[in-house]
Amino acid sequence: MGTIRTFAIAFALTTATVGGVALAQTQGGPVSALKGHDANAPIDVASDRIEVQDRSDRAIFAGNVKVRQADLTLDTERLTVAYTSAGNLQIDRLDASGGVIVRSPSETARGDFGIYDINRRLITLIGAVQLQRGDSRISGARLTIDMTSGRAVVDGGPVGVGESGGRVTGHFTVPQRRGS
Query: What is the predicted pLDDT for the residue at 33?
Result: 57
- Comparing 18 with 45, the larger pLDDT belongs to 45
- β-bridge pairing 43-46 and 58-69: antiparallel
State pLDDT tens for residues 134-157: 888 999 999 987 777 778 889 987
Query: What is the predicted pLDDT for the residue at 63?
Result: 97
- Using an 8 Å Cβ cutoff, are 126 and 112 in contact? yes
pLDDT band at 124 (very low <50, low <70, confident <90, very high): very high
Helix (H, G, I), strand (E, B) or coil at 84: strand
- β-bridge pairing 122-133 and 136-146: antiparallel
Mean pLDDT of 4-20: 39
Q: Pick 3-171's CATH classification: 2.40.37.10, 3.40.50.170, 2.60.450.10, 2.102.10.10.
A: 2.60.450.10
CA 22 from chain centre, in angstroms, equals 7
Q: Considering only 6-15, 37-46, 70-79, 159-168, which range has the smallest mean pLDDT?
A: 6-15
Q: Residue 118: is its pLDDT beyond 90?
A: no
Sequence spans of domains, the chain: 3-171
Q: What angle do CA 15, 44, 2 make, to 5 degrees?
A: 45
* Ramachandran category for residue 162: left, alpha or beta (phi over 0 → left; psi -120 to 50 → alpha): left
Averaged pLDDT of the chain: 76
- Comparing 110 with 86, the larger pLDDT belongs to 110
Its sign, for the CA torsion 122, 59, 44, 74, is positive
CA 32 from chain centre, in angstroms, equals 16
Q: How far apart are CA 98 and CA 145, in angstroms?
A: 20
Helix (H, G, I), strand (E, B) or coil at 7: helix
Which element (helix H / strand E) includes 50? strand 49-53
Q: Residue 4: is its pLDDT beyond 70?
A: no
- Comparing 108 with 51, the larger pLDDT belongs to 51
Q: Residue 67: is its pLDDT beyond 90?
A: no
